[in-house]
């Protein structure tokens, strides 16, 4: 598989890795903080727009870290799916100079 065929995986995989790394960082920051930490805001900001729906559905802090992580991973999958469709569609077109 050459680089032109891998770019949707790199984009979506990079986003998924960022979501997972931020989740770990939020968990470590929350475990080490004596006072309420604002580290969770980074995970919410990273997973917008799905996290906005999550904020409406989650009562309090019950499982919010897991929900936001799942939302982020679902968004990474959706990103891969859409970019893969674009890649396949572009690959199916003839070159711009030929008809």
The 3-class secondary structure across the chain, one letter per residue, is CCHHHHHHHHHHHHHHHHHHHHHHHHHHHHHHCCCCCCCHHHHHHHCCCHHHHHHHHCCCCCCHHHHHHHHHHHHHHHHHHHHHHHHHHHHHCCCCCCC
pLDDT at 1: 53
Give the Cα separation of 4 and 39 in Å (integer). Answer: 36
pLDDT band at 92 (very low <50, low <70, confident <90, very high): confident
Among 3-17, 28-42, 75-89, where is mean pLDDT lowest? 28-42
């Amino acid at each position: 598989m050459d680089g032109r065929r891998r770019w949707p995986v790199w984009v979506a995989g990079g986003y998924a890795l960022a979501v997972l790394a931020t989740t770990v960082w939020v968990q470590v920051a929350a475990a080490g903080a004596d006072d309420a930490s604002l580290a969770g805001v980074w995970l919410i900001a990273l997973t917008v727009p799905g996290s906005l729906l999550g904020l409406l559905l989650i009562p309090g802090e019950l499982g919010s870290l897991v929900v936001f992580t799942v939302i982020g991973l679902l968004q990474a999958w959706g990103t891969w799916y859409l970019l893969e469709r674009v890649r396949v569609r572009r690959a199916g077109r003839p070159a711009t100079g030929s008809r």
